[in-house]
Amino acid sequence: MKTLRVLAILLLAAAAPAAADDARVTRTTLPNGLRVLVRENPAAGVVAVSLLVRAGSRFETPETAGVTHFLQRVLVRGTLHRSDIDLATAAEELGGTVDASGDVEYAEIRGTSLARHWEALLTLVAEVALQPSLPPDAIQTERRPPDNGSAGQAVLLVRDSGPGVSAEDREKIFEEFYRAPRTAQIKGSGLGLTIAREIVQIHGGSIGVEPGPAGGSVFYFSLPSSS
Protein backbone atom coordinates (compact mmCIF):
# COMPACT_ATOMS: atom_id res chain seq x y z
CA MET A 1 0.00 0.00 0.00
CA LYS A 2 2.91 2.36 0.71
CA THR A 3 3.94 2.34 -2.93
CA LEU A 4 0.60 3.63 -4.17
CA ARG A 5 0.70 7.28 -5.19
CA VAL A 6 -3.04 7.85 -4.91
CA LEU A 7 -5.69 5.40 -3.76
CA ALA A 8 -9.35 6.34 -3.72
CA ILE A 9 -12.59 4.46 -3.37
CA LEU A 10 -15.82 5.90 -4.73
CA LEU A 11 -19.29 4.67 -3.78
CA LEU A 12 -22.13 5.75 -6.07
CA ALA A 13 -25.76 4.92 -5.40
CA ALA A 14 -27.31 5.18 -8.87
CA ALA A 15 -30.65 6.92 -9.23
CA ALA A 16 -32.69 9.04 -11.60
CA PRO A 17 -30.77 12.10 -12.88
CA ALA A 18 -32.86 14.60 -10.90
CA ALA A 19 -32.31 12.70 -7.65
CA ALA A 20 -28.61 12.24 -8.38
CA ASP A 21 -28.14 15.99 -8.75
CA ASP A 22 -29.42 16.50 -5.20
CA ALA A 23 -27.16 13.84 -3.68
CA ARG A 24 -24.24 15.22 -1.69
CA VAL A 25 -20.72 13.84 -1.85
CA THR A 26 -18.90 13.26 1.44
CA ARG A 27 -15.11 13.02 1.50
CA THR A 28 -13.06 11.24 4.14
CA THR A 29 -9.33 10.51 4.35
CA LEU A 30 -8.51 7.43 6.40
CA PRO A 31 -5.36 7.16 8.58
CA ASN A 32 -3.66 5.03 5.91
CA GLY A 33 -4.15 7.78 3.31
CA LEU A 34 -7.07 6.14 1.55
CA ARG A 35 -9.49 8.78 0.30
CA VAL A 36 -13.14 7.75 0.41
CA LEU A 37 -15.83 9.57 -1.56
CA VAL A 38 -19.48 8.64 -1.02
CA ARG A 39 -22.53 9.90 -2.86
CA GLU A 40 -25.60 8.42 -1.27
CA ASN A 41 -29.19 8.32 -2.43
CA PRO A 42 -31.54 6.30 -0.20
CA ALA A 43 -34.02 5.97 -3.06
CA ALA A 44 -31.56 4.09 -5.23
CA GLY A 45 -31.75 0.31 -5.44
CA VAL A 46 -28.21 -0.33 -6.65
CA VAL A 47 -24.70 0.57 -5.56
CA ALA A 48 -21.46 0.97 -7.52
CA VAL A 49 -17.95 0.75 -6.08
CA SER A 50 -14.84 2.02 -7.85
CA LEU A 51 -11.34 1.49 -6.45
CA LEU A 52 -8.91 3.84 -8.20
CA VAL A 53 -5.11 3.83 -8.10
CA ARG A 54 -2.97 6.53 -9.67
CA ALA A 55 -1.40 4.49 -12.44
CA GLY A 56 -1.95 4.21 -16.16
CA SER A 57 -0.54 4.74 -19.62
CA ARG A 58 0.58 8.26 -18.73
CA PHE A 59 3.15 6.79 -16.33
CA GLU A 60 4.28 3.91 -18.53
CA THR A 61 7.51 3.81 -20.53
CA PRO A 62 7.96 2.29 -24.00
CA GLU A 63 9.25 -0.83 -22.23
CA THR A 64 6.22 -1.10 -19.93
CA ALA A 65 3.53 0.10 -22.34
CA GLY A 66 0.23 -1.66 -21.64
CA VAL A 67 1.28 -3.09 -18.28
CA THR A 68 -1.47 -1.28 -16.33
CA HIS A 69 -4.33 -2.69 -18.35
CA PHE A 70 -2.60 -6.08 -18.47
CA LEU A 71 -2.37 -6.25 -14.67
CA GLN A 72 -5.97 -5.15 -14.21
CA ARG A 73 -7.20 -7.86 -16.56
CA VAL A 74 -5.24 -10.52 -14.67
CA LEU A 75 -6.53 -9.30 -11.29
CA VAL A 76 -10.07 -10.40 -12.12
CA ARG A 77 -8.95 -13.84 -13.28
CA GLY A 78 -9.17 -15.16 -9.73
CA THR A 79 -8.23 -14.60 -6.10
CA LEU A 80 -6.62 -16.78 -3.43
CA HIS A 81 -10.12 -17.95 -2.54
CA ARG A 82 -12.01 -17.98 -5.86
CA SER A 83 -11.45 -18.86 -9.50
CA ASP A 84 -12.50 -16.36 -12.16
CA ILE A 85 -15.77 -18.25 -12.62
CA ASP A 86 -16.39 -18.31 -8.85
CA LEU A 87 -15.65 -14.59 -8.72
CA ALA A 88 -18.16 -13.86 -11.47
CA THR A 89 -20.71 -16.11 -9.77
CA ALA A 90 -20.22 -14.34 -6.43
CA ALA A 91 -20.86 -10.97 -8.10
CA GLU A 92 -23.94 -12.29 -9.89
CA GLU A 93 -25.35 -13.53 -6.58
CA LEU A 94 -25.13 -9.93 -5.35
CA GLY A 95 -27.05 -8.81 -8.42
CA GLY A 96 -24.07 -7.23 -10.19
CA THR A 97 -20.58 -7.60 -11.64
CA VAL A 98 -16.90 -7.07 -10.83
CA ASP A 99 -14.40 -5.94 -13.46
CA ALA A 100 -11.14 -4.03 -13.85
CA SER A 101 -9.30 -1.97 -16.43
CA GLY A 102 -6.49 0.53 -16.90
CA ASP A 103 -6.86 4.08 -18.20
CA VAL A 104 -4.58 7.03 -18.91
CA GLU A 105 -4.13 8.17 -15.30
CA TYR A 106 -5.85 5.52 -13.20
CA ALA A 107 -6.16 1.77 -12.77
CA GLU A 108 -9.60 0.72 -11.62
CA ILE A 109 -11.38 -2.21 -10.01
CA ARG A 110 -15.14 -1.67 -10.09
CA GLY A 111 -18.21 -3.52 -9.02
CA THR A 112 -21.98 -3.15 -8.91
CA SER A 113 -24.66 -4.87 -6.86
CA LEU A 114 -28.08 -4.43 -5.33
CA ALA A 115 -27.84 -1.72 -2.68
CA ARG A 116 -28.59 -4.07 0.20
CA HIS A 117 -25.42 -6.05 -0.63
CA TRP A 118 -23.02 -3.08 -0.50
CA GLU A 119 -20.90 -4.56 2.31
CA ALA A 120 -20.48 -7.85 0.49
CA LEU A 121 -19.57 -5.96 -2.69
CA LEU A 122 -16.89 -3.97 -0.85
CA THR A 123 -15.49 -7.22 0.51
CA LEU A 124 -15.40 -8.73 -2.99
CA VAL A 125 -13.65 -5.71 -4.52
CA ALA A 126 -11.13 -5.71 -1.64
CA GLU A 127 -10.46 -9.40 -2.22
CA VAL A 128 -9.66 -8.76 -5.87
CA ALA A 129 -7.36 -5.85 -4.98
CA LEU A 130 -5.53 -7.41 -2.04
CA GLN A 131 -5.62 -11.16 -2.67
CA PRO A 132 -5.34 -11.80 -6.42
CA SER A 133 -4.06 -15.24 -7.37
CA LEU A 134 -2.48 -14.03 -10.64
CA PRO A 135 -2.77 -17.54 -12.14
CA PRO A 136 0.09 -18.33 -14.56
CA ASP A 137 -2.25 -19.62 -17.28
CA ALA A 138 -4.25 -16.38 -17.16
CA ILE A 139 -1.04 -14.34 -17.32
CA GLN A 140 0.03 -16.33 -20.37
CA THR A 141 -3.32 -15.81 -22.08
CA GLU A 142 -3.31 -12.06 -21.41
CA ARG A 143 0.40 -11.64 -22.21
CA ARG A 144 0.37 -13.01 -25.72
CA PRO A 145 -2.11 -13.84 -28.47
CA PRO A 146 -2.65 -17.44 -29.60
CA ASP A 147 0.07 -19.10 -31.66
CA ASN A 148 -1.19 -17.64 -34.93
CA GLY A 149 -0.30 -14.10 -33.79
CA SER A 150 2.83 -12.54 -35.24
CA ALA A 151 4.51 -9.20 -35.74
CA GLY A 152 2.50 -6.75 -37.81
CA GLN A 153 -0.82 -8.19 -36.70
CA ALA A 154 -3.53 -6.89 -34.41
CA VAL A 155 -5.21 -9.64 -32.38
CA LEU A 156 -8.52 -9.49 -30.51
CA LEU A 157 -9.38 -12.09 -27.86
CA VAL A 158 -12.88 -12.74 -26.49
CA ARG A 159 -13.28 -15.06 -23.50
CA ASP A 160 -16.49 -16.68 -22.30
CA SER A 161 -17.48 -18.92 -19.39
CA GLY A 162 -19.66 -21.28 -21.41
CA PRO A 163 -19.43 -25.06 -21.80
CA GLY A 164 -16.32 -24.80 -23.98
CA VAL A 165 -15.61 -26.19 -27.44
CA SER A 166 -14.22 -29.71 -27.84
CA ALA A 167 -11.07 -30.30 -29.89
CA GLU A 168 -13.21 -32.09 -32.48
CA ASP A 169 -15.53 -29.10 -32.88
CA ARG A 170 -12.93 -26.30 -32.98
CA GLU A 171 -12.66 -26.39 -36.77
CA LYS A 172 -16.20 -27.52 -37.52
CA ILE A 173 -17.91 -24.65 -35.70
CA PHE A 174 -16.78 -22.26 -38.45
CA GLU A 175 -18.49 -24.39 -41.09
CA GLU A 176 -21.83 -23.24 -42.50
CA PHE A 177 -24.86 -24.35 -40.44
CA TYR A 178 -22.74 -26.48 -38.08
CA ARG A 179 -24.06 -26.73 -34.52
CA ALA A 180 -21.99 -28.43 -31.81
CA PRO A 181 -23.98 -31.18 -30.08
CA ARG A 182 -23.77 -29.52 -26.67
CA THR A 183 -25.38 -26.34 -28.04
CA ALA A 184 -28.47 -28.07 -29.41
CA GLN A 185 -30.68 -26.37 -26.82
CA ILE A 186 -29.41 -22.88 -27.73
CA LYS A 187 -31.25 -20.99 -30.48
CA GLY A 188 -29.22 -20.15 -33.57
CA SER A 189 -28.72 -20.88 -37.25
CA GLY A 190 -25.07 -21.90 -37.24
CA LEU A 191 -24.10 -19.02 -39.52
CA GLY A 192 -22.62 -16.43 -37.16
CA LEU A 193 -19.08 -17.83 -36.97
CA THR A 194 -19.12 -18.64 -40.69
CA ILE A 195 -19.90 -15.02 -41.51
CA ALA A 196 -17.27 -13.81 -39.03
CA ARG A 197 -14.64 -16.03 -40.69
CA GLU A 198 -15.52 -14.75 -44.15
CA ILE A 199 -15.20 -11.12 -43.03
CA VAL A 200 -11.86 -11.73 -41.30
CA GLN A 201 -10.43 -13.67 -44.25
CA ILE A 202 -11.52 -10.96 -46.73
CA HIS A 203 -9.32 -8.58 -44.74
CA GLY A 204 -6.35 -10.94 -44.78
CA GLY A 205 -6.75 -12.25 -41.25
CA SER A 206 -7.45 -15.50 -39.46
CA ILE A 207 -9.88 -16.64 -36.77
CA GLY A 208 -9.95 -19.50 -34.31
CA VAL A 209 -10.84 -20.73 -30.84
CA GLU A 210 -8.88 -22.24 -27.96
CA PRO A 211 -9.94 -23.67 -24.60
CA GLY A 212 -10.12 -21.07 -21.84
CA PRO A 213 -7.60 -21.28 -18.97
CA ALA A 214 -10.39 -21.78 -16.41
CA GLY A 215 -13.10 -23.28 -18.59
CA GLY A 216 -15.09 -21.79 -21.41
CA SER A 217 -13.41 -20.71 -24.64
CA VAL A 218 -11.12 -18.03 -26.01
CA PHE A 219 -12.19 -16.87 -29.48
CA TYR A 220 -9.66 -14.78 -31.36
CA PHE A 221 -9.07 -13.19 -34.70
CA SER A 222 -6.06 -11.44 -36.14
CA LEU A 223 -5.79 -8.81 -38.86
CA PRO A 224 -2.81 -7.12 -40.50
CA SER A 225 -2.08 -3.95 -38.52
CA SER A 226 -2.49 -1.89 -41.69
CA SER A 227 -6.14 -2.97 -41.86
In this predicted structure, what is the pLDDT of residue 187?
64
Integer angstrom CA distances of residue 27 from 9, 24, 164: 10, 10, 46
Contact criterion met (CB below 8 Å) for 31 and 105 = no
Instruction: Give yes or no for residue 216 having a pLDDT over 80.
Output: no
> Mean of the pLDDT values across residues 68-83?
87
> Mean of the pLDDT values across residues 77-88?
89
Question: pTM of the full predicted structure?
Answer: 0.59
In this predicted structure, what is the pLDDT of residue 20?
46
Give the pLDDT confidence of 177-212 residue by residue, as tens digits.
776 665 655 666 667 778 888 888 888 888 888 777
Residue 65 backbone dihedrals phi, psi, to 5 degrees: -55, 130
In this predicted structure, what is the pLDDT of residue 39?
87
Give the pLDDT confidence of 4-56 residue by residue, as tens digits.
434 445 554 444 444 445 568 899 998 988 899 898 887 888 999 999 998 88
In this predicted structure, what is the pLDDT of residue 13?
47
In this predicted structure, what is the pLDDT of residue 189?
65
Instruction: Give yes or no for residue 99 having a pLDDT over 90.
Output: no
Give one DSSP letter per residue of 99-111, joined into a string.
EEEE-SSEEEEEE
> Mean of the pLDDT values across residues 51-65?
85
Could you report how far apart the first and last alpha carbons of the chain are, in Å?
42
The full set of domains in the chain, from first to last, is: 7-139 (3.30.830.10), 144-224 (3.30.565.10)
In this predicted structure, what is the pLDDT of residue 51?
92
In this predicted structure, what is the pLDDT of residue 90?
92
In this predicted structure, what is the pLDDT of residue 167?
72
Give the pLDDT confidence of 119-175 residue by residue, as tens digits.
999 999 999 999 999 888 777 766 655 444 455 677 777 777 666 777 777 777 777
